Structure 1
Amino acid sequence: MKKKILLALAVLMITIIAACVGLYLYYEEQSDLVYKEVFVEAGTSECDVSEFLKKDNSSAKFSDESSFDSRVPGDYKLTIIATLPIFGEKSFDTVLHVQDTTAPEVSLTKDSIEMYTTAPAPTAAELVESIFDVTNCTIDFKEPYDFSSEGNFDIEIVVADTSGNETIKSIPCKVIDDVTPPEITGVEPLTIAQGDTVSYKKNIEVTDDHDDEPTLEVDSSAVNVDKRGTYSLTYIATDAAGNVAKKTTSVKIVSAKITEATQETVNEMADKILADIITDGMTQLQQARAVFDWVVNNITYSETAGIDDVLSAAYKGMYYHVGDCTVKQKTAEVMLNRLGIKNMEIEKIRDTRGHYWLLIDVGEGWYHYDPNLQLDGTLIFYWHDADLWAYSNAHKNTHNYDPSKYPTIQ
């Protein structure tokens, strides 16, 4: 009997011990709910409580005192509260390590730099278009660069975040030493009829040894187109290196009133000019050339002259020595008529602008006769029709006309 009692007690003790061990192991298993440390990359996750749990527990939450920012690198000590079966609510300590191991993403404003020694030196920040990183970044050159001396070199730009991650971008740089100012050509004294408008930049060209597009400004502040007199006009050209060239000319404003443009006065003026340019023994072709040269060399081109009748136009050309293509054509027409040289007006088919010139016949048939100096310096005197068409087609239809309106042209 005694043995049975002792055996029963032993079984009971073993059962109690086994139950305690089982309960302890169960408690330990339930208590091993939270990772001691969690590592995340800054800015890549919102990082909720589930990332800290080894197994699901819908009751788990951060304590009210726990706070962190997954965008800001650092070590955050946190407490997680969870309810365990049998044992109830329990607190778990953990550490969130927000790491920044990613270098900044960087794009530059350009693929290469070409600059002049006279230009301000760029800063590293000016060459960076955008940066993507979770922290603030610094921008600097990897080393000092000399932008004041001519040469070719690669610039290295270093962008570093607060965690020490760096991105290095390289950009080729060419520094040019340019001390030669632009060259201004085509500047001549101007004569303008009172009240006329004028394109000051017409026939003016600016070239530079480095800059393909130097700027051109015109200082006409001293010119009063409504008052007769002689004024100063200045052309100012600037290249990309900052070199400046200036040229000054005169602008003569003459009266626009043509009250004396009668047949008699115009003929007298024409005869006086012809007396100076026509000599005995000249053929009609030579006389026509003398008139042509006088008009080209003595009448300054002025746009929008606004004169159509032959007497006023010829008067303006011979007296004021200024006018558009109509003035030049009609001045030549009057002189040719005084010489008895057969001529007729010919008109361009009007597109963006019109144009007038003459046909002449000195006994050899009709030829083209345009007493205007063309923009490229060409003189159209006694030209065959084929030659004029070739020129017109190559120069944006400068002399495109309707052949059906005119006699056969040689």
Structure 2
Amino acid sequence: MKNKKKVMLLMGVLLLLSILLIGITWEPKLTVIPEVVVELGDPLPEANVFFVEAVENAEYQTDLSEIDTNTLKTNFVSLKVGRRTYESSIIVIDTTPPTGETKDFEIWLGEGSVNLEDFLVASDDLTDVVAAFKNAPNLEQAGEQEVIVVLTDTSGNTTELTSVLTIFEDTEPPVIEGVKNIRIYLGDNIAYRKDITVTDNHDETIDFEVDSSDVDLKKIGTYTVVYTAVDRAGNETSETASVIIEQKPLGNITQEMVDEKADAVLAKIITDDMSKLEKLRAAYNWTNKNVKYVGYSDKSSWLKGAYQGFAYGTGDCFNYYAVSRALISRLGYEFIPIKRVPAPTRHYWLLVEYEGQWYHFDPTVRSRGYEFSGFMRTQPDVEAYTELLANRVPSFYVYDPTGLPEVATEPLE
């Protein structure tokens, strides 16, 4: 009996030891998560997250240097909890859209094109990024318009960035400065472009054209020159100026110089068989047709006035008077210089004696609509013409008759 009890006691002890040993070596099997997803670029997850059950002693068996979360791929890993080993995987995904910065851009209508680089300042992502316009900008419409740049990364994540395209329309013409009237003497040259500048609200440099086709440098007169500038948008501006060509001031003109000119003319127009009246008519006609009216003259001396008329064929009423005075004087006829009494403008002509009568002699040309032959006219003739011009040129043939002979009242036959 005693031996039997000992055996049973021994067996109990052995059983107890076996139970204790089994409790020490047996570990429950955990439920592993087969795939753990991480965002591209994020750090590796803790080993504990791979299990459904809450564990605290899980650890990686895989060499972590071989796992790169900056690469989109599936990474297989081994994990250990206690004496058990588990297999799982880490899947690296990308759901983060790219980032970027844009700027506004300005162009002029009809000039050039736009590129993405004109709007996109920078873009950033862990993968390659492709940039594109959501809708192509409309380059044919002036004003402001919204421009959307779409950034797309390798995983298909997109970001829309907004900027503003401003298209200016150039409707403002260039500005020409420095245009002014030019006054030169006959025979001088003209520097049309001197001191002329052109500026524009858009174009930096603009040339200009000068139309001087109206100018005749060989003739005294007033002409028009046109300056024109056109910018790239086709806006045009023009400025006009007058070119006034004058006779150079005459120096010391002598009676002999004027007589020489008068005699040269008379030699061409007078013949021995002419009557006295015909000779007067020839002098009148030559003066009237060979002196061009330009509206101004040097009235300091009748000799200068006559010389200008003979030598250059230009002048105003003073030159017509002076040339006819020189011709009539060389023909040997009596004459008296006449000048209009004070009035808004001056006028000069002659009284010429013929067959004991005095007549008005004025070869000055007349403007269209006011034609008048001033050859040997009576006093009623000039008074009627003066009345006709009363509203246009007051006192045309009004003069001081004091000390002067009476003018014929009956016209020549």
Q: Same-fold call, TM > 0.5?
A: no
Greater relative CO (CA pairs within 8 A, separation 6+): 1
The higher radius of gyration belongs to 2
